[in-house]
Every structure is written in structure tokens, then in C-alpha cells.
Amino acid sequence: MENIENEICFLSENDSRHAIKVLRLKKNHRIAIVNGKGILGKAEIFEANPKKTKIKIIELEKKSKPLFLALAFCPTKSNERNSFIIEKATEIGVTDFYPIISQNSERRIWNISKFEKNLIATLKQSQRFWIPTIHKIQNFNDFIKNQDLPILKFLAHCKQSSKQKLSLLVNHKKPQIIVIGPEGDFTNQEINDSLKHGFKMVELGKNRLRTETACLVSVTLMKF
């Protein structure tokens, strides 16, 4: 929630309803709140109202920002599957999402607002303190030229070429990013262009994985 650093503030209508109607919290009950920007607050319910619960902040704690762990992927045709990717990758610890459009992309339109509510709900459920950033959708060729990407940047594809196991290259103590392609995979030209811009080609195993599975397998290997 916003304005967490004020002594007195209010829960949103959704959070108020959940706290009062679902959790059955009442006046003087203690709760923990986050603002998605690294602040954890301990608060006490001042006025229990299912539409606008008033709370009093008792203590604030600043949490350090997590190490950069990014997932770039070509969105699938199904927004349900895209939501699944963002939700589960957020639980695992991804800090940045880069939706990209490659030559074989199935979806070329991306509405960030569809996924922001999922991020907030997942943030609270997974007890994280910093909300991930969903970047604007961009063309693959523009994305790989991004000078702000970390040194450890990997691209997974299914073609028969020189690749290394992702598990042998990751370092969870350093900033990292993985790129996952569309169901039709990256083209040879896209792979060659990625190599020229410092991406390491990786494989995730012998089985061919769907986009959402590849996303979650890769970020799990990079996180832990």
C-alpha cells in the first residue's frame, strides 16, 4: 500500500474487505503491511471498516533491494499463461520482466495493466518487499542492444548448435538475465545477433519445454 510512512493511513477497499470479512480482524489487531518499495510496516487496526480500514503505523523497517534477476520472454497467445509466468516467477524472486517480440512471436500486443494486480497479490503472498518491474514491450533486436543488461545474460533455444547447460553458468550472487523465446523458437539470425551482443547460448535439459515451463525452470536455476 502507498503512504505507508504516514502515522495514520488507510487500507485499500480490497485489502480492507479481506482483512475484515475474510480474516475477521478487529480493532487493535496487529497487521504487517508493505508498500512494494522496500518498506515493511507493523501496524494496528484503528477503525475496522470493510471498505476503508484505518490503521496506525507502529514501526517501519527498510528492506534492502534484491539482486537483479530478470526474465525476458516472448508472451504467449494466452494471457492466462502469461499471468502464470509473472506470478510464479515473482514468487521465485524475479525483479524485472522484459516482454519481447521476436520474429516467431505469437503475441505482439502487451497490456501491462492486466498483470499489475497479479504482481501486488503475489508480492504479499510471497512475503517480498520490492514489487518487480514490468518493462515496456520491445522488439527483440532492440532488446539485445540494451547496454544496461548485466554481464551474465543467457538465451535459451532448441536448435542444434553449441550450447552450455544453464546450471553450469549461473551465479546467484551476481545480476543475471535469461531470455526465453516463443513456441516457434528464435531464428538462426536472432541467435547469431544475440551472440554478437554478448549473450551466452544455453540449454535447460533434454526435453523440449513450453514457454511457461522454460521460464520457471530457468529462473529457479538462477535464483538458487
Quickly count: other Cβ atoms within 10 Å of residue 14's Cβ: 11
pLDDT of residue 189: 97
pLDDT of residue 68: 98
pLDDT of residue 2: 64
Nearest to 122 by CA among 97, 153, 156: 97
Asked whether residue 56 falls in the same domain as residue 150, the answer is no
CA distance 49 to 191: 56
Asked whether residue 27 falls in the same domain as residue 83, the answer is no
Asked whether residue 78 falls in the same domain as residue 48, the answer is no
Q: Which residues contact 198 (CB under 8 A, 6 or more apart)?
A: 151, 153
Asked whether residue 177 falls in the same domain as residue 116, the answer is yes
pLDDT of residue 44: 96
Q: How many domains does the chain have?
A: 2
pLDDT of residue 125: 83
User: Which domain CATH number covers 211?
Assistant: 3.40.1280.10
Domain boundaries, position 37: 8-62
Cell of 209: 519445454
Task: Give pLDDT tens digits for 160-192.
Answer: 889 999 999 999 999 999 999 999 999 999 999
pLDDT of residue 110: 84
Asked whether residue 14 falls in the same domain as residue 118, the answer is no
Cell of 166: 544453464
Q: Does residue 1 belong to any structural domain of this protein? A: no
User: Which domain CATH number covers 51?
Assistant: 2.40.240.20
Asked whether residue 30 falls in the same domain as residue 94, the answer is no
Residues of the chain with pLDDT under 50: none
Residue 121 CA to its chain's centroid (Å) = 12
pLDDT of residue 13: 92
Q: Does residue 2 belong to any structural domain of this protein? A: no
Asked whether residue 96 falls in the same domain as residue 187, the answer is yes
Asked whether residue 15 falls in the same domain as residue 110, the answer is no
Asked whether residue 93 falls in the same domain as residue 55, the answer is no
Q: What is the pTM of this model?
A: 0.90
